[in-house]
Structure 1
């Protein structure tokens, strides 16, 4: 074999002396590891798996090349922590979110004008609740969990269960879910990712049926392609962990509030309405488990930029939840009252939208206005329930107080002419309705059938159940009806003889 191949100097990479590997006193034969690339690869594998950690793998050219290749492969692994770490899209420190939000008219409490109904909101949130306060053991447990929490997610779980009120399933909540259905050209969100509050709750889109709320109010439903999407919510919340920046949470809540105010104003505008100027109806809160801050939100025209809107955020209250048992109860009460108020606002807005939609489609008309008579209530006879509705043609006008019956034979029991619309008859009496009128009565779904029909074995007074319509002439014993225009119709018994 060539001596050049067995020279020990060529078995090492050309590195400075300080980087050379220490050769063992009795090194094993290296001949078989230099016979081929495959043998070298086997050596590298053995070096990685069998050598003790204190003895590094031999730095040959071939091994070094393979190590470099392995390093590149690892750095491109999608599971690498540096690539898979997810942060909230509205982070104020990494994306310049605060500056972009301000340019879009989203103001913090220092730059906002106080809501005109701020004192009313404070009183509403501070009012006593009908339910009993939690025992002091709940407070002690709360403080212990907050103190032990090591990150934001733990804080959310530990505090939300003990602070927030839960409502029925038709008023759901959602955690850390982005508003995927928000229009990108709403103005307040220019250049920003979608709002993604840690907590939000509101009515489902299904509750607005039959009103297609998302067709008339873009962005009212928060989540795209979700028929159960939370729609037009009025409250949201942001959490921070033990080392979190509460100022960042405040800016994020201002963005959440702007999104809810924008949708609320669009819904009111659809009905031709608006909240009173400076009136706040939307609520947000921020907390790190220790401090709780509640805010009220509204929009107003900008005083600096004509035609633009500004979204104002007013601080309602700040409460230390862990300071004492009393302060814990106070903060819990304020937050739950804010939830109740937001829920009431949601239902009120939903009811107004549905009613407006109903009026727009049908004009708010009762079925009576379309020509359909009201259904009779059993046991109750209305005096004008069957007043003239155009089903009878009258050609003879007679005084109301002196009805003159036509010449006819005696009154007979049996079916009246209302049952024989398929016949065409001429009539010897000018007051009798023509057959065409009978046909229209019959084809109208039989709405007057019960008015006239009786069994052929019934009483000699075929309209005894509808005396409010037909009146009996005391002189002739025949029945007549006086219409609102003064004309008179007679119930002709000769029609019965043609059956």
Structure 2
């Protein structure tokens, strides 16, 4: 969803510019995620396919977190039957996004934590390595804190790539979960590549936030892809290559068939909701660390007071 809309650059289209129509502000051309050549350019930029990716340092912890029993009750089998009927009859990608969000994803009551669908990362910086010559990431689903939740910390000023849309004070900021959907029976290979690109964007922004604080953290972020039938979850992280450039890994966590059995549907739903819970915890934890660090930098210690200050000075 969104990959065929007008907000995406068509294959081999020029970068947007403020000049006359048809003119480009530079000599390079951007590739949309569905354009021929996107996968090759993404690989040149360091975005790895799952077969070439390595597991993140926290992979075992991620698997354990996603597999744990969920606090909420399991859905009734009647819901599973309705789900099968709806996804098999979904005429397009937009319908699939609605069905997945309604049946599989959970909603949170937090006022400052939101879900956004088919929204381009309009505030993301251009050409920071992984996105060279590529159009703006635009996942079907992304979830995270709004910029207003960062209070007095000017996150858009200090963290490159943190704010997805700088013209919107309610823009999602430093999210840790994104997803790509396809219509029933459509190409999941394309969805996987789009998720790899989304994941690289989220990892880059997270690493920028950690670098600002002088920290490192092995925690990975999560993406998912689905065509309603199969649900795939991936762990994303970055490492330095032998050449000293960054490589962005998309390592498979698990793949579940959602329609073959009621048990499979319940497992997939649980995995995805646990991934949401994990991403939410990561978002709040990173926000709190950034705010605390910024406040410490802003604190100016008082000048020391000499012990004899105030004493009368007598000249002899």
TM-score, normalisation: structure 1: 0.55
Counterpart of 1:289 (choices 189, 212, 228) is 228
From 191, 194, 218, the equivalent of 2:136 is 194
Aligned to 1:358: 295
Q: Is the 8 A contact 2:184 2:229 kept in 1?
A: no
Mapping for residues 377-388 of structure 1, pairs under 5 Å: none
Deviation at 1:88, TM superposition (A): 5.3
Partner of 2:78: 137
| 2:149 is the counterpart of 1:207 | yes
Query: Deviation of residue 243 (structure 1)?
Result: 3.4
The structural deviation recorded for 1:334 is 0.4
Q: Deviations over 1:420-473 (max 9, x none)?
A: xxxxxxxxxxxxxxxxxxxxxxxxxxxxxxxxxxxxxxxxxxxxxxxxxxxxxx
Contact 2:156/2:166 (<8 A) preserved? no
Q: Can you give the 5+ residue segments of structure 2 that lack an aligned partner in the other structure?
A: 10-30
Q: Which has the higher contact order (CA 8 A, sep 6+)?
A: 2
Post-superposition CA distance 1:246-304 (Å, at most 9, x none): 011001000000000000000000000012xxx3421000000010000000000012x
Q: Which residue of 2 aligns with 1:218?
A: 160
Q: CA RMSD in A?
A: 2.2
Quote how far apart the aligned CAs of 1:391 are.
9.9
Q: Give the alignment of 1:79-158 within 5 angstroms.
A: 86=6, 89=9, 92-158=33-99
Structure 1 residues 8-41: Cα deviation after superposition (integer angstroms, max 9, x where no partner): xxxxxxxxxxxxxxxxxxxxxxxxxxxxxxxxxx
Q: Which runs of 4+ in 1 moved over 2 A?
A: 84-95, 389-395
- Could you tell me how far apart the structure 2 residues matched to 1:85 and 1:255 are? 18
Asked if 1:255 is matched to 2:173, the reply is: no
SS at match of 1:105: coil
Alpha-carbon distance, 1:85 to partner: 7.2
SS in 2 for 1:342: helix
Deviation at residue 103 of structure 1 after TM alignment? 0.5
Residue number in structure 2 paired with 1:171: 113
1:195-240, Cα deviation, whole Å (9 max, x unpaired): 0000001001011120000101122100131111100000000000
TM-score by structure 2 length?
A: 0.85
Per the alignment, do residues 85 and 287 of structure 1 end up closer, same or farther by CA in structure 2, a change over 3 Å counting? closer
Q: Name the CA shift for 1:87/1:211 in 2 (closer, same or farther; >3 Å).
A: closer
Q: Secondary structure at the match of 2:234?
A: strand
Greater radius of gyration (CA): 1
Q: 2:256 corresponds to which residue?
A: 319
Provide the rounded CA distance (Å) in 2 between the counterparts of 1:199 and 1:263: 17
Determine if the alignment matches structure 1 residue 302 to structure 2 residue 241: yes
1:246 aligns with 2:185: no
1:227 is matched with 169
CA contact (8 A) 1:285 1:293 kept: yes
| Partner of residue 265, structure 2 | 328
- Structure 2 CA distance, aligned partners of 1:207 and 1:110? 38
Structure 1: unaligned runs, 5 residues or longer: 1-83, 372-388, 396-499
User: Does the CA contact (< 8 Å) of 1:296 and 1:313 recur in 2?
Assistant: yes
Q: Offset at 1:94?
A: 2.8
Q: What secondary structure is seen at the aligned counterpart in 1 of 2:180?
A: strand
Residue range with higher mean Cα deviation, 237-246 or 90-99: 90-99
2:32, 2:134 within 8 Å by CA — same for their partners in 1?
Answer: no
1:152 and 1:177 map into 2 onto residues whose CA distance is 15
* 8 Å contact kept, 2:230–2:256: yes
Matches within 5 A, 1:45-84: none
Conservation of the 8 A alpha-carbon contact between 1:200 and 1:233: yes
2:127 aligned to which of 165, 180, 185: 185
**Given that residues 234 and 253 in structure 2 are in contact (C-alpha distance below 8 angstroms), is that contact kept between their aligned partners in structure 1?**
yes
Contact 1:281-1:345 within 8 A present in 2 as well: no
Greater strand fraction, Structure 1 or Structure 2? 2
